[in-house]
Structure 1
């Protein structure tokens, strides 16, 4: 398929005049119109247009959304779509997303305006979820096609898709089937109408046939280009997440504001320390404040030198670096109790350059309020006047500084400005501690900390704490107090089953908990058959969502059975099977993740406030924004800025951030091989002989089925 990054006027003057669109006559020496880098999303409130809008939002790609259900919405006409700026014709949107190939009533002037606009400026149209019919270049499904569930179907990117907008995929596009009792995906599988210029990009076998039907394809007709999608999806489903990047690349010709990567970083907390073990008799963890049996002794789980060798071998095999958040007191205490010996610390220090390291405080002390553990759950201790007793500034600062000094003495390669507090303490913890420890910010300033880890399940948004900015981390549901698979399953069963089944009853008390079990898991098989696939799916969903936030586990999960490895391997194996080598997993350290989140927030604010102007004229892209705000852009290979190659190679294109402090960002696109060819209209069977379209929404599409209580 030929691709173009310039724009050719395709409409006749009579058509333009009839619909009020401006003719390209303002610049006789440069007739190319200005195409603003903004997408028009026309929504009917369905999950498919919502998913595309979410993808644009996550990448930082500006878009305008029109909700067809709102009576006060703007009307789409020639004046809304195009105008003139400084004597040059301007297309206000570089792409149009519709909920179907034509969501308007018959003979709608709004659809006519869109058709004329797309012809005049070469604007692509995405049909987010449409019925297979000749108007979309496809046969009706009743003529040798299929209408129905595609749960669990293994679709495939075609050769045209891999050489075109979906070239970042290896080929397979598996559709989710998370529940045997809930319909999750519905599709129309069909083949192109005879004579139609239709190119399938993603297809699947038609049941009962040797043929394959299109799920995503490009239809060229009447001087227009449409991306025809004939399956329904939501923003969380894996099949959409796999194809979302290509949908955006297709609609923008690979030129748009915003960037997208597939991120995965894993923090291992409590390194050098030991984690207390779950007690399956008491259904609690001796050593924790809520495990009050006086005869229960803690049973610590701590890595060994052999576990370090295993971690190193795993890193080499996976080409993946783990982040070790360490507590120096764990080694000091071990040496004190073992005649000065600590083989684990000796091994880790000898191999220190093979891991990334983060200060996790010296003793892992709780740094918020002073905890009153005479009650369960604990509460904040108070002074006689009722005010909260806080851990002091000196105590918080000593925890940070002592661990930093220990790490420096051990030669750990540290970034001094990163910190993970024990249990993310010092930050607010609901319901007991609704405010940060006021001494935390002061201690962070004392120690030069500018990046502070937080728990994404409590605080998903980045925020400032004194001189520091938080970096939310995803807790993986691999328990800190489990070193063996059977322990993990036992605790999992206790938490997520009913009281009648021997569990805690949390699901009875809180029906919104999404990881509840209908029956206890088998201790021998439950981990591999239920917990591992579930945690792999949740984590992979984050990876595919352009979400850089790190995940965290604990050193206990790398000890004994190494229960973290099946989950981590599951994520990376699944990823490798889905993506081409030009789209690697991006594994960054905490401060770089924090900076990425910070850049995104500043960019979104600038776009929201209307302080960004971006457009393309022919082969030149110009972006104007507030001074000091970094600009994210995605462009084809060969794009340059001031003669130098722009951005980084990723997913078959180039993308990156650049500041605009010294003036507008100007990018020169590679020369286009030609403009899109037009196609004759498709024929087809008369609509009167065909039943009405049934664009149904399965239950699993309206809401995500992936459990997310711990994500």
Structure 2
């Protein structure tokens, strides 16, 4: 269970005097201060404070940012930090994030104001990236410590960390090492200073010794608490993503607006249909509109009943459910060509309850403009007046309705509000079709579709298409036209090597492309050795980013060599190696993902518009938001909403959405023993008055460290 932080209760008069505030109107009051649920982020423009701000944004936790690099910034003083509301002392921020333990000049009045504020209200401070020194509770690195690269280091959560803010982790915190030529992480490893009340939460072995040095720890002194972080990071790095939740929970005592969960969903497109195969000689895909070489012969890839057995067993062994986007015409055609027999469909239908199902249209037809495929790339057909020829509303209606009818006739458990069109067609696709098909929205109305799959690589933000909200899906770089690992590696080589190496020259023609390979992959080993680790890392990065958007592959990837499974295993097994049982992967279907995205957008809009008020007084949390908006909060286990239950358990806490009403929502926190009074082991340290030394910032964390070459995605398919 998370530790609940209780602040020392002072009288209102004492609080006002301590901060030098003007007294408000005299009113009877319990003396318990009001703590607003908002974080103060003091930024120096570096990647560490930016990463914490990004995490707060992702969770939906409100914060105020003060940019130290701005000449017109707000001055941090007593009035900026606290005031009175209805005669009650109010702390405007529940936590303070600084770039380091003291980013101000020596003798700074602003640092003094912050120290007094933290002491008075029991407000915790996060030192986003600081030098190890006695002012932060640590010995300097030159005293038996270390300063330097920690690329590839295996850090570990301590027993105190597992019992406290990082109880959602199993223990290991691996640091990335994506490139041998780029410094990605830098750290100061050190042990607590003599007499300092310092508890390491995450540590690693100091090189050349068996001693553990702190990377993240809590320093208690002078009635203040600091989370001291001595390694640098950016918001995309796995080590930060693993610790981000705990950093926020530590600074808020597990009581804050917003929430974070780890999501993973995988859609398998074109089920019952067949996907055309990449031709390793022609370097294109016969049957695809972009492959015009007449010597090519289509070679379809289609799953078998054995592949269905494998998929169902794999789901059971991984406690995971795949979403199957199906095209009923594929089975109808198979039966027509095979004397009424389709063993694949028979097997899937018999095992239909093992999977979730999504309408992917009947024939997988392109539902945007009418395509002119006599040229490469294809273009939209036009009318005599130059206007675009659009696929008709009736055609779209039929594609949706016929597939729905086929699925229902075969007992597939469908949700008719969900749809993924073939190739995400009907929606805009650049450069050929910059606008949605105007017939798509009305057809979705006809069919009652509310959730429409979109391609995250070209349409990432949720938007409305007629009555439906889009749900962007991440395309996995496991190509639709590959059933064998060698085919996947061959196409990868074609795309990302130079013309001199036998490739397409994509990188030469597009200098900003970062997917270029220095040399072709070995087609017998390249998929397993290079592509799988790369794609696993990218997908796990999405999972760890509080991002519910699903990923998609194709049925061809579950056939033949079953090349999708090494990536899926890498994500799921890698996740299970890192996270405790109280933090399971959240595996939602498309409509639930769409609902989550909708609520997040409305919540963010309300926060940005200043329409949310939230504060804590003692063990009571009050939240007021626009009526009809769903509020989002994270609270300790045992918290209640009014007289009823709140949220659901995740990562050792309760979190969830609650519909706001005209009256404020009132949450009651569980009674808990007060946290230990901050101690100094008989040795006091004055509030830091000297600014922290400049910290080392390696090249790799001044911007996002690439997981590896950024990938251009090939995932279209034609039938």
User: TM-score normalised to the size of structure 2?
Assistant: 0.96
Matching of residue 67 in structure 1 with residue 67 in structure 2: yes
Q: Quick one: distance in 1 between partners of 2:498 and 2:11? A: 66
CA drift of 1:297 comes to: 1.3
Output the aligned Cα RMSD: 2.1
Contact 1:134–1:682 (CA under 8 A) maintained in structure 2: no
CA drift of 1:513 comes to: 2.0
Equivalent positions of 1:413-492 (< 5 A) are 413-492=413-492
Residue number in structure 2 paired with 1:250:
250
Equivalent positions of 1:405-420 (< 5 A) are 405-420=405-420
Matching of residue 81 in structure 1 with residue 81 in structure 2: yes
Residue number in structure 1 paired with 2:716:
none
CA drift of 1:642 comes to: 2.1
Q: Quick one: distance in 2 between partners of 1:683 and 1:421? A: 66
Q: Quick one: distance in 2 between partners of 1:678 and 1:102? A: 20
Distance 1:10 1:166, change over 3 A: farther
Structure 1 spans left out of the alignment, 5+ residues: none
Q: Quick one: distance in 1 between partners of 2:270 and 2:93? A: 51
CA deviation profile, 1:576-614 (whole Å, cap 9, x unmatched): 000000000000000000000000000000000000000
CA drift of 1:84 comes to: 0.6
User: TM-score normalised to the size of structure 1?
Assistant: 0.97
Residue number in structure 1 paired with 2:50:
50
| Alignment: residue pair count | 709
Residue number in structure 2 paired with 1:325:
325
Residue number in structure 1 paired with 2:304:
304
CA drift of 1:259 comes to: 1.1
Matching of residue 176 in structure 1 with residue 176 in structure 2: yes
Contact 1:16–1:116 (CA under 8 A) maintained in structure 2: no
CA deviation profile, 1:684-708 (whole Å, cap 9, x unmatched): 99x99x9983412112112222244
Equivalent positions of 1:235-314 (< 5 A) are 235-314=235-314
Matching of residue 552 in structure 1 with residue 531 in structure 2: no
Equivalent positions of 1:497-646 (< 5 A) are 497-646=497-646
Q: Quick one: distance in 2 between partners of 1:709 and 1:464? A: 28
Contact 1:2–1:676 (CA under 8 A) maintained in structure 2: no
Contact 2:582–2:650 (CA under 8 A) maintained in structure 1: yes
CA drift of 1:503 comes to: 0.3
Segment drifting more, 394-403 vs 661-670: 661-670
CA drift of 1:293 comes to: 1.5
Contact 1:9–1:122 (CA under 8 A) maintained in structure 2: no
Contact 1:23–1:89 (CA under 8 A) maintained in structure 2: no
Contact 1:635–1:655 (CA under 8 A) maintained in structure 2: yes
Q: Quick one: distance in 1 between partners of 2:167 and 2:470? A: 35
Residue number in structure 2 paired with 1:214:
214
Q: Quick one: distance in 2 between partners of 1:447 and 1:209? A: 67
CA drift of 1:210 comes to: 1.2
CA drift of 1:509 comes to: 1.2
| SS of equivalent residue, structure 2 residue 417 | strand
Contact 1:514–1:709 (CA under 8 A) maintained in structure 2: yes
Distance 1:684 1:283, change over 3 A: same
Contact 1:8–1:675 (CA under 8 A) maintained in structure 2: no
Matching of residue 31 in structure 1 with residue 31 in structure 2: yes
Contact 2:474–2:549 (CA under 8 A) maintained in structure 1: yes
Q: Quick one: distance in 2 between partners of 1:345 and 1:14? A: 75
Distance 1:15 1:107, change over 3 A: farther
CA drift of 1:13 comes to: 7.9
Structure 2 spans left out of the alignment, 5+ residues: 714-719
| SS of equivalent residue, structure 1 residue 654 | strand
Q: Quick one: distance in 2 between partners of 1:664 and 1:59? A: 21
Residue number in structure 2 paired with 1:146:
146
CA deviation profile, 1:353-391 (whole Å, cap 9, x unmatched): 110000000000000001111111011010111000000
Q: Quick one: distance in 1 between partners of 2:89 and 2:347? A: 67
Residue number in structure 1 paired with 2:383:
383
Residue number in structure 2 paired with 1:400:
400
